[in-house]
Amino acid sequence: MSHKSIKLAAAIVNRGAGNRAAAIFHTYNHEILLAVRGHGTASSAVMDCLGLDEPEKDLVLGLSSKTGADRLLRALGREMEFCKPGHGIAFTLSLTGISFAAMDILSRHEDQTGPNSRPAEHKEDIPMTNSHSYELIASVIHTDLSAPVMEAARKAGCQGGTLIKAREIGSDAGKKLFGMTLSQEKAILLILTPTSLRAPILKSICETVMKETGEHAVAISLPVDAVEGLTG
């Protein structure tokens, strides 16, 4: 198995549904798991942008082969009912490298036969296709900027977002990055969006941060291979 065939799968669901999502990850042999809590906000602007009634989120991550990741996304969409608004989303990202230990675990799972390998579901071996190309935008912002930044992203076409609390690590000497003054308490804003909306959303985030703080925003985008739970 090559690292080029390994995918990082992520599911963002309402708080409390993470265990159920993790069980589906396990069923489809995604054994390397990480669960992260996404902290929402009471701001109506943010809740409107997310399109969800419950602002608290669970983020579940796992690694698998491409075939396993495709099956997982279908299973998550079906069993978690991602077709219904507010039930969650899932997506996969390609990896450019992986440690030997992680590759060894995944290779052993690929060789397994048994109830968890789902051999009877041959129809799920068909590669996933998407009518839209998506990207994941990640931006580091001050926690008190979540409402104006999300509102700006919504006006630029944002259909989904999740805030994860973060904390700066480093010495006092490294308090600036690209002209942005860094404080310890931060939020990582994750937005899954069609590629066509990446540029306007990134622009809106950067302009809002500059307007509110006079500083530059730190934001990146990553190509997404497949998506479950989003339309448009």
For residue 18, the enclosing domain spans 3-125
In this structure, are 18 and 103 located in the same domain? Answer: yes
For residues 150 and 143, the answer to whether their CB atoms sit within 8 Å is: no
In this structure, are 99 and 162 located in the same domain? Answer: no
pLDDT for 206: 93
Q: Which of 86, 126, 159, 133 is nearest to 227 (CA)?
A: 133
Domain final residue, candidates 125, 144, 162: 125
State pLDDT tens for residues 138-194: 998 888 888 899 889 989 998 768 888 877 665 454 456 566 655 567 888 899 999
**CA-to-CA distance for 219 and 188, rounded, in angstroms?**
9
pLDDT for 80: 95
Q: How many angstroms from the chain centroid is the CA of residue 30?
A: 16
In this structure, are 13 and 100 located in the same domain? Answer: yes
Domain final residue, candidates 125, 152, 171: 125
In this structure, are 102 and 163 located in the same domain? Answer: no
In this structure, are 36 and 97 located in the same domain? Answer: yes
State percent of the chain over pLDDT 70: 71
In this structure, are 120 and 144 located in the same domain? Answer: no
In this structure, are 219 and 147 located in the same domain? Answer: yes
Global pTM? 0.75
Mean pLDDT of 67-88: 90
Q: How many domains does the chain have?
A: 2
Q: Which of 212, 211, 213, 227 is nearest to 131 (CA)?
A: 227
In this structure, are 149 and 110 located in the same domain? Answer: no
Residue 141's contacts (CB-CB under 8 Å, 6 or more residues apart) are 149, 186, 187, 188, 189, 205, 209, 217
Coil, strand or helix at 104 = helix
Q: Who wins on pLDDT, 72 or 66?
A: 72
In this structure, are 13 and 107 located in the same domain? Answer: yes
Q: Who wins on pLDDT, 5 or 87?
A: 87
In this structure, are 15 and 118 located in the same domain? Answer: yes
Q: Which CATH number covers residue 144?
A: 3.30.70.120
* Pairing mode of beta strands 226-228, 6-14: unpaired
pLDDT for 232: 54
In this structure, are 121 and 139 located in the same domain? Answer: no
| Segments of 66-146 assigned E as strands | 89-94, 134-142
**CA-to-CA distance for 115 and 164, rounded, in angstroms?**
35
